[in-house]
Structure 1
């Protein structure tokens, strides 16, 4: 089909990488086409319904992927304007300075990045302003250098979490306020979009008070004449010129919002940027193989899809004797074990509070909490999230077989995760016995009980690394500006460029990098 629409730049995807890039480039005046495979996520009462959000595909795609053994995976992918940020927890951390350097872990070496923290720091500042990050410097013992204070004050702890924070401090730990991207004004609550509800972490925000990519970057530029957003526009393939050195057209399946009929259209752009998420970006490159690129576009290094990382992730539900009426619980983090501890030389990872679990979320597995009921557990629990770095491994990769997406992945750094989990359980039990918090030692026979869970392979919310950047075309897919080595007008701005994963949520780094690449593209287009 002939090309019928030409743009200065085409951006595929509207998540943290694509949406942020569109925001940055909109000011250039260049003609921009933004393609999003999904629609706008509907604002509806079900946004705050636990069973709808977690036990249905209403806000997650129902597609099926496969593991290396052919078993089905149901990935937690949200295909809406804003991408996975529509349902993320909005915890927006900077990587530590040492995360950009080579570092020995239990199962191998986390490699150095070709750019360092200082190269990203100015863009972290901009990213925190754009996504309204609330935080407080000086509390986190691993905090990297900051040229500016957080743009918004830290989200306060509710009473129960403040108690826990103080007891942790009394034990020599250094808890700090989790940096959170929300539209909150605690000083003037009547002006605040955020209402500090218990349906934030993992939920769509009904009141648009979460700093997701749709709210923070896409909607602010939608009205500009030079920006065109096409929703329900799924990119099928990228076509190259005869030389194979440039993308000549983008083949897109577009669904008409009124008739619901589907048409295949071709668009062309001077520059094409992929921001589909680390998995789907590599899938698109692999599916676009042609004579000039028989193993997939930009894949002369055979690294497209390799070095897939998603963190080693899990939760701990700690049952306390004292009730926990907290609503907005995701305000506390601990990095004391990020780089290990005195008798363990390897990095362990990060701990943060989760969004508050509810009895509705636990009822589907009620037997696991016996003799306590789901309501008793939810009413008395403090809920934690553990993040441990997984290392890049070329054998951990994304493959395609026809229309099938295959994740070949073997977890590493499991020992570090197990140690961090056990260490935190010990601390929680010591807190449970502390008289300053728990004077009534006979309230529940199972108080002090912890329930743990490891996130399965289908949990790919932290996906990074599948098209790493670097100077050498034989050992990287992208150059330092995130342009593919093999194709002159093709860029990637999602988490694909990561060389290592660190042990904090990757979203803020993706945002910062999109702003950085945006500046490069503005210079290039001028």
Structure 2
């Protein structure tokens, strides 16, 4: 055996699972298809990042009409979290049950919030989250405080919070995995969508993976794309075969390649015994793909500048839960501060106009739940990934954006504009190997163990039964900690 546990992928799920298993003393091998991000002159250069796509991978997938597109997923140690906005928000308690939306009703989870609460708290400690559980009325029960107080608002953001409160809203601090002084020491920029090549942002590499690699029994191999997962005659996973031809074996394999790549790998591993792919007797692998409905909303006053550098410290959940006035609409949070180069790269505006607008804009991110749909799916087309995303619940998102615009005008912004994100932006992809009690309708059980293969676990966003309407990173980490404890107790205890 090459290891006791092989983990495929070093993103939020894989790195957190490694940290959970490291204290067992068993040999943990992490396989990452990409390499480490190294410091470069482009790290804080908005033109290089947003205009030139310096860090954007050259992956090409097919959409539902078989047209090629660039998905914008990142392949490196730490995965997509290297570029994320470090918002580490718990799902709301209601998200674990059925939720009625204008576009349909979610199916609920096989576990409830309280079963995951201790793992949420452990994940917040692992990623050194800065926040407050006392500001947001929708915040679920916390068994203890956040490890650190919230990241402070900049002066113009403090004024914005006052304006929003005056408009009848209840803004609260975003729970963030950011060491502000350390981040800003590398450059006066936001962290949202910027690569983390230092230690200022707590991503999968700087957080959980760093903890795991302190243990001598944990190893990381980079540049190791996995071609297939191999199973024996009994249905147990025997090992993995790398693209270069090498086969590695372990009694436990955990898959954490991301919602799309995890589904693709399971489908690509089809054989005579499992002709439609591994872990797929339910025919659910690749189905129920979800990707949040998102829009950027810019509020500005031509005579008032926004001097904020990072801005991403505040969220609004007034429209998250259904009330007599509105259905469940979603979450609103600040984007990392949009600058002239970013706006020009994403809007086509001439640079002088983009600079003028960005200097005066307060930039919001409106996010609504995308509902699971078995026809929204990942398949393979001649070996190439095909993503046929069937976007749902769009009317609720339009209502969220319209409601937010109205409130922003009430808060004193005469100009409010919005732009929705399309499939080229990976807005929290999830759902392709859903969790559930019934093996006929799901891929893994509530501990992320495959129904079909008892020593195969899946610990990334693909297992999420619903997308909720907040960033999934903390929930992925919490589920990985829960799965790690289960693996340690049932597979590694002997």
Same fold (TM over 0.5): yes
Equivalences for residues 447-466 of structure 1 within 5 A: 448-466=414-432
Instruction: Tell me if structure 1 keeps the 8 A contact 2:37–2:197.
Output: no
Which residue of 1 is the match for residue 224 of structure 2? 233
How big is the shift at 1:72?
A: 1.4
- 1:281 is aligned, of 262, 267, 270, to 262
How many angstroms apart in 2 are the aligned matches of 1:363 and 1:99? 37
Listed one character per residue, the Cα deviations across residues 364-403 of structure 1 (whole Å, up to 9, x for unaligned) are 3666589x71111011000000110010000101001222
Residue 404 of structure 1 pairs with residue 384 of structure 2: yes
Q: Which residue pairs with 1:215 in the alignment? A: 206
C-alpha contact 2:83 2:194 (8 A) present in aligned 1? yes
Retained in 1: the 8 A contact 2:50–2:345? Answer: no
Shift of residue 206, structure 1, vs aligned partner: 3.8
CA distance in 2, matches of 1:368, 1:318: 17
When structure 1 is superposed on structure 2, of 264-273 and 166-175 the one drifting more is: 166-175
Give the deviation of 1:32 after TM superposition.
1.1
User: Is 1:313–2:294 an aligned residue pair?
Assistant: yes
Aligned length: 490
Q: C-alpha separation between the residues in 2 aligned to 1:60 and 1:498?
A: 26
Aligned mates of 1:225, 1:138 — CA distance in 2: 40
The separation in 1 between residues aligned to 2:236 and 2:366, in whole angstroms, is 42
Inter-partner Cα distance in structure 2 for 1:450 and 1:223: 49
TM superposition shift of 1:154:
0.6
Change (3 A) 1:249 1:374: same
Q: Secondary structure at the match of 1:405?
A: strand
Distance in 2, Cα, partners of 1:331 & 1:366: 24
Q: 1:170/1:397 Cα in 2 relative to 1: closer, same or farther (>3 Å)?
A: same
Larger Rg: 1
Equivalent residues in 2 for 1:115-264 (5 A)? Answer: 115-184=111-180, 192=182, 195=185, 197-243=188-234, 245-253=235-243, 263-264=244-245
- Determine which of 504, 509, 513 is the counterpart of 2:475: 509
Bigger CA drift: 92-101 or 361-370? 361-370
Give the Cα separation in 1 of the matches to 2:214 and 2:128: 22
Among 317, 321, 343, the alignment partner of 1:335 is 317
- In the TM superposition, residue 166 of structure 1 has moved relative to its aligned partner by 1.0
TM-score normalized by the length of structure 2: 0.96
2:460 counterpart of 1:480? no
Match of 2:394 in 1: 414
Shift of 1:54: 2.0
The verdict on how the C-alpha distance between 1:160 and 1:466 changes in structure 2, with shifts beyond 3 A counting, is same
Q: TM-score, normalised by structure 1?
A: 0.90
Assess if the C-alpha contact under 8 Å between 2:23 and 2:215 holds in 1: no
Q: Does 1:53 align with 2:35?
A: no
Task: Give the whole-Å Cα distance in 1 for the aligned partners of 2:207 and 2:427.
Answer: 19
Render the CA deviation track for 1:205-257: whole Å, top value 9, x for unaligned. 243210001001212332532112100100001111123x111120013xxxx
Distance in 2 (alpha carbons) for counterparts of 1:360 and 1:369: 10
| 3-state SS of 1:153 partner | coil
Does the residue aligned with 1:384 lie in a helix, a strand or coil? strand
Unaligned runs of 5+ in 2: none
User: Offset of 1:469 from its aligned partner?
Assistant: 1.1
Counterpart in 2 of 1:442? none
Give the whole-Å Cα distance in 1 for the aligned partners of 2:481 and 2:41.
34
- 2: CA distance between counterparts of 1:117 and 1:365? 38
Question: What is the match of residue 411 of structure 2?
Answer: 431
Q: Which residue of 1 aligns with 2:271?
A: 290
Q: 8 Å contact 2:123–2:477 — kept in the other structure?
A: yes
1:27 aligns to what SS in structure 2? helix
Counterparts of 1:328 and 1:454, CA distance in 2: 22
- Give the alignment partner of residue 30 of structure 2, picking from 18, 34, 43: 34
| Structure 1 unmatched ranges of 5 or more | 254-262, 434-447
Bigger CA drift: 52-61 or 302-311?
52-61
Instruction: Give yes or no for contact 2:164–2:408 (8 Å, CA) kept in 1.
Output: no
